[in-house]
Amino acid sequence: MINQYIQENKERFLSELMDLLKIPSVSADPKFNDDVKATAEFLKKRFTELGVDRVDIIETKGHPVVYAEKIIDASLPTVLVYGHYDVQPADPIELWHSGPFEPVIKKTEIHPEGAIFARGACDDKGQMYMHLKAFEAMLKTDSLSCNAKFIIEGEEEVGSENLETFISEFKEMLTADVILVSDTGMIANDVPSITSGLRGLSYVEVEVVGPNRDLHSGLYGGAVANPINILADMIASLQDENKHITIPGFYDDVLECSSDERAEMAKAPFSEEAYCKALDIAETDGEKGFSTLERATIRPTLDVNGIWGGYIGEGAKTVLPSKANAKISMRLVPNQDPEKITALFQKHFESIAPESVKVSVTPHHGGEPALTPVDSLEYKAASLAMEESFGKKPIPVRSGGSIPIISMFEKVLGLKTILLGFGLDSDAIHSPNEHYGLYNYYKGIETIPLFYKHYAAIKK
């Protein structure tokens, strides 16, 4: 019945998503503020058409939150759906094969039935919109088995800084039994999986200042400390020859994965060769003693995200720069505290600076790691839902990405989150030519109602 409804409305479900993807809701760049607003308005309209009891655009200090709810029976459990309508900047724009905000459908090797190419197609407009359409299908076929609340925010890609205040302020309104999020991935279209953990994030910007002006690199080179050379040395020293991070205390709070859990992880299908081939690299690289999958999910990391300074224009300009900068991210694992790690970084980075330069560290937004126990009722409902729609039991996997608000849901609202994601690593989120499989979009719309169904049954 519900699947028939989805089948019959397939085309419209897709064209609505296409319209949503046309609005460039880039949260990081104030140039797009009006578009961000328009995206919130777009969602409000769609919720209104669905016949929710309530839908509001709620202002924050930053971009607004779209909130909607439908309470069908106070004695039923309530599912609180979280998603984000903001997207990453599209740059570098010249690497897109079609406009980032002009969605097109193309077939790919991994998505033979077609994928929709646009910024936000997978992260997170496509995955978030599945929830509206799944909700529509349940409502229209009289099969909504839980109350539903939705928080769709516009600042996830910039750290969800105002959402924490929002959920504290609207704690009463957000009363629910479980949080449901589709903003992660699964292993492959024929290998369903559920994300059981996310990494946290500590993000800093560093500046190394040498002489009070750029100098002639012939007259001064060799005698005056070069901030770029120094920055490069300092960054290099943050990892040893085993790619172990050298910041004192960095690993102190790491909750190590048990050998049983690591053995379980190793069962997930993974080809090192295919991984390298997809990225055009000869081999992988990372912390000694851990597999590629482990390095990317259950181990903390330190990566330079950007580095600049000196002359980068045409031709050669012989200059010894006065300044060098870098942005550095550290992905954290359960039990590591982003504020503590940022403080450890700052202290260490300042302590290794030579006298010849001045160093400063500016912290940016961070986020805490998250874990969903695989033996919880919520997880069981998600697992049954996936098993029913994919015909295969999903594998629990940890993911390397971060969604800062998830740990706040637990702290402030006392709720566990189910990360029911349908994206693939190859969907190029945050990269040029981001896309989302049509199979994944429709499979998500089919699976979500099954979660409501199994969750309501388990809670009875």
Find how far residue 400's CA is from the centre of its chain. Answer: 9
For position 146 contacting ligand BES by CB under 6 A, the verdict is: no
* Residue 5 C-beta: closest distance to ligand BES, Å: 28
Pairing of strands 395-398, 193-198: parallel
Q: Of the candidates 402, 417, 433, 440, which one interacts with ligand BES according to CB under 6 A?
A: 402
Q: Of the candidates 16, 35, 136, 157, which one interacts with ligand BES according to CB under 6 A?
A: 157
Nearer to ligand BES, 332 or 344 (CB): 332
Find the helix or strand (DSSP H, E) in which 150 lies: strand 147-153
**Counting runs of H as helices and runs of E as strands, what totals does the chain give?**
13, 18
What's the token pair of residue 382? 């998600």
State the binding string over 414-443 for ligand BES (x if CB under 6 A, else -).
Answer: ---------------x--------------
Length of the chain: 460
Number of chain residues interacting with ligand BES (CB under 6 A) = 18
For position 183 contacting Mn ion by CB under 5 A, the verdict is: yes
For position 427 contacting Mn ion by CB under 5 A, the verdict is: no
Nearer to Mn ion, 16 or 123 (CB): 123
Of the ranges 162-170, 180-188, 205-213, 215-223, which one interacts with ligand BES (CB under 6 A)? 180-188
Report helix, strand or coil for 288. coil
Nearer to Mn ion, 16 or 124 (CB): 124
Of the ranges 146-154, 181-189, 372-380, 412-420, which one interacts with Mn ion (CB under 5 A)? 181-189
Cα–Cα distance measured from residue 266 to residue 374, given in angstroms and rounded to the nearest whole number: 17
CA distances from 431 to 118, 209, 452 (A): 10, 32, 33
Of the ranges 2-10, 92-100, 122-130, 248-256, which one interacts with Mn ion (CB under 5 A)? 122-130
DSSP codes, 330-360:
EEE-TT--HHHHHHHHHHHHHHT--TTSEEE
For position 183 contacting ligand BES by CB under 6 A, the verdict is: yes
* Residue 184 C-beta: closest distance to Mn ion, Å: 8
Helices 438-459 and 10-21: crossing angle in degrees, nearest 10, is 110
For position 86 contacting Mn ion by CB under 5 A, the verdict is: no
Nearer to ligand BES, 196 or 346 (CB): 196
Q: Of the candidates 77, 227, 396, 401, which one interacts with ligand BES according to CB under 6 A?
A: 401
Contact (Cβ atoms closer than 8 angstroms) between residue 200 and residue 437: no
Cα–Cα distance measured from residue 154 to residue 128, given in angstroms and rounded to the nearest whole number: 12
